[in-house]
Amino acid sequence: MLRCAILDDYQNVALSIADWSPLEGEVETTVFNDYLPDHAARVAALKDFDLIVAMRERTRFDAALLKELPRLRLLVTTGMYNASIDMAAAEEQGIVVCGTGGIPAPPAELAWGMILSFARNLPQEFADFRAGAKWQPRMSLDLAGRRLGIIGFGKLGSRVAKVGTAFNMDVVAWSRSLTDEKAEEEGISRAATLEWLLETSDFVTIHLPLNPSTRGLIGARELRLMKPTAFLINTSRGPIVDESALMEALNEHRLGGAGLDVFSQEPLPPDHPLRTTDRLLGTPHIGFVTEGGYRVFYGEAVEDIQAWLKGAPVRRVAARK
């Protein structure tokens, strides 16, 4: 009997949201609901498993860890890309890495939740309502006519843009691959430079993958370009934004606010300064955590394991160049 570890199932739904019965008799599953915090804990917990199902990039599989998992033969990641896996080391050890599909809408929906929260002061209004505070103590912002700046214009950026245009916002986007023709087709404007987008937008939302060219893309210089009334939203990857520079800008009231669903360190420690930073709306990386998304993730993870058992792996993940 092969042993399979299902990692980081924080909501404890992996075995109920997908049908694992096709693996009965061949694979024994063990679910880990809590995060394995360090190298030693991961080795101790995982060294006797043949298969591992990893949830996104929650657990890092670097060369040092893979080296100490001698039985590991199949590593399934939810999604088709995982920057936390050392693909070269996996290949060297003969570990097959497979992925799954996903649903592109949820992170875009969360971005809009944050935009609307800032525009209508929802966190403050909820708190005041429960506390029985003064009735209608503040005004909200109209979205119509405001400029929405979208950094990155793939599937997520395009979805965010459609909602912005529905709200009659002035939608502009910046991407290295975005053309004037594509922008016109989408009913938006192409920002010639990232700097211009930052300088002129009322809301800026990030929808980029993390790679060497995007790491630290929004730093102290870029934040100083933004309006003091502007809002920055990041539901992509934490390291795209320099968190120290962002904290400084927020604490000095040089930004209207920031919404973060992603962080350089996850889970974010309970005493992390970001948890108390003024004008920050934070959520615990829930952009992809939806029922529909999880059905795809775990359902296709089962398919990946079945295919591997038959000697014909599907959805193999290759290293990105």
Respond yes or no: is residue 237 known to be catalytic: yes
Q: Which two tokens stand for residue 26?
A: 């061949």
Largest CA distance in the chain: 66
Same domain as 298, residue 232: no
Same domain as 170, residue 95: no
- Give the separation between CA 69 and CA 49, rounded to whole angstroms: 8
Count of residues for the chain? 321
Same domain as 171, residue 261: yes
Q: Which amino acid makes up residue 162?
A: K
The answer as to whether 319 is a domain residue is no
Domain count, the chain: 2
Q: Which among 266, 272, 303, 315 is annotated as catalytic?
A: 266
Q: Which among 57, 207, 285, 300 is annotated as catalytic?
A: 285
Q: What is the pLDDT of residue 294?
A: 96
**pTM value > 0.85:** yes
Q: Which among 42, 56, 159, 237 is annotated as catalytic?
A: 237
Same domain as 248, residue 193: yes
Distance from first CA to last CA of the chain, Å, rounded?
Answer: 36
Q: What is the pLDDT of residue 320?
A: 65
Same domain as 245, residue 204: yes
* Strand extents, DSSP E, the chain: 2-6, 27-31, 51-54, 74-77, 96-98, 147-151, 170-174, 189-190, 203-206, 231-234, 257-260, 280-282
**Can you give the CATH number for the domain in which 133 is found?**
3.40.50.720
DSSP string, 121-143: THHHHHHHHHHT--SS-S-----
C-beta of residue 182 within 8 angstroms of C-beta of residue 206 = no
Q: What is the pLDDT of residue 321?
A: 57
**Alpha-helical segments (H) within 97-237:** 105-119, 122-131, 155-166, 180-186, 194-200, 220-225
Torsions phi, psi for 2 (to 5 deg): -80, 145
- Give the separation between CA 57 and CA 81, rounded to whole angstroms: 9
Domain that holds residue 79: 2-103+290-309
Respond yes or no: is residue 266 known to be catalytic: yes
Q: What is the mean pLDDT of each run of 10 residues along the chain (321 residues)?
A: 97 97 97 96 98 94 97 96 93 96 89 98 95 95 98 96 98 96 96 98 96 96 98 97 98 97 95 94 96 96 98 89 57
